[in-house]
Amino acid sequence: MFLAPLTLLLPLASIIYAAIFVYRHTARRRKLQAVLIALLTLLLIVASLFATGVILSPRGSGTLPNIY
């Protein structure tokens, strides 16, 4: 039960790392670019978690997997 939130630690760490990296390595519009990168990274991680759940769900069940 408590392991489910732990699966989000690595994605959250990568979001933070990507935002900080972009903030530190861009000259103009740093805050905007950092926010956009954080949102893009979040979207990609959510999409990959959803796709993994759909791919690994049992065939023929007709429902989406419960990830909680």
Q: Decide: 64 and 57 in contact? Cβ < 8 Å.
A: yes
Instruction: Name the nearest CA neighbour of 51 among 63, 60, 64.
Output: 64
Structural domain spans, the chain:
6-49
CA distance 16 to 68: 23
Pairwise CA distance, residues 52 & 36, whole Å: 24
Q: Does the predicted model carry a pTM greater than 0.85? A: no
Q: Would you say residue 1 has pLDDT above 70? A: no
pLDDT in tens, 5-28: 777 788 888 888 888 887 788 777
Q: Which amino acid is at 42?
A: L
pLDDT score, position 2: 65
